[in-house]
Amino acid sequence: MPNAQEFVRVIKENEGIIFKIASVYCRDGDDQKDLYQEIVYQLWRSFDSFRNESKISTWMYRIALNTSISHLQKAKRRGTAVPIDRVVLDMMDPADTVMEERVSLLYAQIRALSTVEKGIVLLYLEGKSYEEVAAITGFSKTNIGTRLNRIKEKLRSQIKPQELWSLKK
Amino acid sequence: MKQAWTVLSSELEKQKKLTDTLIMSMTHERYKNKLSRIRTPETMATALSFILALLILVNFSKYNTIFLAASALFAAAYLIVMPVLSLRLIRHLENLDITGNHYKQVLTDYALRKRKLLSFQKLNVYLGFVLLVVTLPVMVRIMGRETPIPAQVWYWYLPLGGVCFAAFARGVYRYYAGVAHQAENLLKELQE
């Protein structure tokens, strides 16, 4: 049985990771909540097997990204979920509408990418090195570089000039 | 974009919302959801298929021609084997090894299993048409009516069944083609 206290501490320290991944892989609020909880559950299930062989965040990214893939299939087969108030998932200060607009734009651009690209770009945006991204995703370091260049080109062509200006503000 | 993401991340860091109770109740609720699978539509449909198969087999003595006996055996076999295989493939697709594998491997497994499930479901649709044809004489026999079924019945049953089946199969084919295309694209992208 995993150590519940330790698990709770790890989740609370890294809840932002789970939130960002759920937001990238799901557009719909209910789907986001469902994925969010599924990620927490899968982390709990595999907590015992985490043997400090990597950083805790690396392990969390791997489980969370993998859970998001399996959620692609399950999206419409929801069971009951713990009622998390919108306030938990609305983790931005609601008064900051400019930031909210930038965040929405950011997520929209990333969601438009393919499933493969989403995982890679998310890790890149999280500040992971090519080596770390390769370690989490299983792609080679060279492959990560090539794919990231393609993703950047794709995002440049996706984002309209006024949206790009908005992101740079 | 990276700048905007960094600002987003630092804002999230300031707003820790999860409580201990909420975290643990998430794990318990998900566990209960897994157990509730026994009430999913596929499992209920499988149970119904088994009941129908049993009904067909229990009345086996009534099928007094080779055609009827063969039709009954086909129908019973279809109603037993196909739902079981379908459930197995669906569960196989859902039970990806999330903890042991990398993102790339999980994606590959997902695409390959999805492709397998789609191929099976296409076969299921085609065999379903055969079931549509053989079920009528078998059910007529079970209800105690005489066979052969008058030709007039076939004159409306087959065309009507065929039209309904064709409309259903067309919709199903379009859906499968779209999803299969996604799975193939995913596999191609992974191999680049």
The answer to whether residue A60 scores a pLDDT higher than 50 is: yes
Binned at pLDDT 50, 70 and 90, residue A67 comes out as very high
Q: Does B21 touch chain A (CB under 8 A)?
A: no
Question: pLDDT-derived band of residue B28, with 50, 70 and 90 as boundaries?
Answer: confident
Give A88-133 pLDDT, tens digit per residue.
444 445 556 777 777 778 888 888 888 899 999 999 998 899 999 9
Tokens of A71: 């959620």
Tell me whether B12 touches chain A (CB under 8 Å).
yes
Q: At what angle do helices A15-25 and A29-46 cross, to 10 degrees?
A: 130
Q: Could you say which residues from 8 to 67 on chain A have a Cβ atom under 8 Å away from some Cβ of chain B?
A: 8, 11-12, 15-16, 19-20, 37-38, 40-42, 44-46, 49, 62-63, 65-67
pLDDT at residue B17, as a whole number: 63
DSSP code at position A47: G
pLDDT at site A16: 86
| Residue A74 pLDDT level (bands cut at 50, 70, 90) | low
Mean pLDDT of chain B: 82
What pLDDT, on the 0 to 100 scale, is given for residue A33? 86
Q: Would you state the pLDDT for residue A148?
A: 92
Region B23-33: mean pLDDT is 72
Task: Say if residue A85's pLDDT is above 50.
Answer: no
- pLDDT band of B58, cuts 50, 70, 90: very high
Question: Which residues of chain A from 84 to 103 reach within 8 Å of chain B, CB to CB?
Answer: 84, 87-88, 91-93, 99, 102-103
pLDDT top residue among B129 and B50: B50
pLDDT, tens digit, 9 for 90 and up, residues B106-126: 989 988 998 898 888 888 888
Say what the pLDDT of residue A139 is.
92
Mutate to test the interface with A, among B2, B23, B114, B181 (most CBs of A within 10 A): B23
d(CA B27, CA A43): 9
What predicted TM-score, i.e. pTM, was given to this entire model?
Answer: 0.78
- Averaged pLDDT for residues B19-29: 73
The average pLDDT across A13-31 equals: 86
Most confident of A108-122, B7-21, B175-189: A108-122
The answer to whether the Cβ–Cβ distance between B106 and A70 falls below 8 Å is: yes
Nearest-CA neighbor of B94 among B44, B48, B47, B42?
Answer: B42
Residue B144, phi-psi category: left (phi > 0), alpha (psi -120 to 50), beta (remainder): left
Cis link prior to A83 (omega < 30° from 0)? Answer: no
Q: Which residues contact B14 (CB under 8 A, 6 or more apart)?
A: none
pLDDT at B64 over 90: no
pLDDT value at residue B35: 55
So what's the pLDDT on residue B146?
A: 67
